[in-house]
């Protein structure tokens, strides 16, 4: 599996991730990491990270972990819990596959800040929709 190519394609072609300042930084079998430098646009009225930013990063990390087998996935459902917040400047979300079937992949995600503090996490159920085509902009991301 050409993980570096998947990472490059995702960071180039996924406009939603780019819009939110999220980068896929690591991928290996059954694991992916996304990261984001935080700005005022990622924060809520109180200056803390907006819950939607956490959930968006978790969804991106779970998609990356699921796609690490060379197939395309979409999110079916998730369960997500917030433990703490951060006024830090950087977030890291790590997704790890917990179970992979022929069409369903279950991924656990944790998000930490730049100090390593665990902020939130959840479980994502992903549905396989076909094989990745790294030559197509819509399939590599």
Helices marked H in the chain — which ranges?
3-13, 15-19, 51-67
Measure the CA–CA gap between 76 and 65, rounded to whole angstroms. 15
Q: Which residue has the tokens 């179970």?
A: 99
pLDDT digits (tens, 9 = 90+) for 33-81: 999 999 989 998 988 899 999 999 999 999 999 999 999 999 999 999 9
Percent of the chain at pLDDT exceeding 90:
83
Q: What is the pLDDT of residue 133?
A: 79
Q: Report pLDDT digits (tens) over 89-123.
A: 999 999 999 999 999 999 999 999 999 999 999 99
Q: Does domain 3-131 have CATH number 3.10.129.10?
A: yes
Please write the tens of the pLDDT for every residue from 58-71. 999 999 999 999 99
Task: Give the span between the Cα atoms of 42 and 31, in whole angstroms.
Answer: 25
Domain boundaries along the sequence of the chain: 3-131
């Amino acid at each position: 599996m050409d993980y570096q190519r998947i990472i490059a394609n995702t960071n180039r072609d996924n406009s939603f991730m780019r819009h939110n300042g999220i980068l896929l930084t690591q991928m290996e079998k059954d694991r992916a990491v996304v990261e984001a430098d935080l700005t005022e646009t990622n924060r809520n009225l109180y200056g803390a990270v907006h819950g939607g930013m956490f959930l968006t990063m978790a969804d991106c990390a779970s998609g990356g972990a699921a796609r690490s087998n060379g197939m395309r996935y979409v999110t079916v459902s998730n369960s997500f819990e917030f433990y703490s917040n951060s006024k830090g400047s950087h977030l890291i979300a790590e997704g790890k596959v917990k179970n992979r079937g022929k069409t369903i992949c279950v991924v656990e995600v944790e998000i930490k800040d730049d100090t390593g503090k665990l902020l939130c996490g959840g479980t994502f159920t992903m549905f396989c929709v076909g094989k990745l085509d790294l030559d197509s902009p819509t399939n590599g991301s």
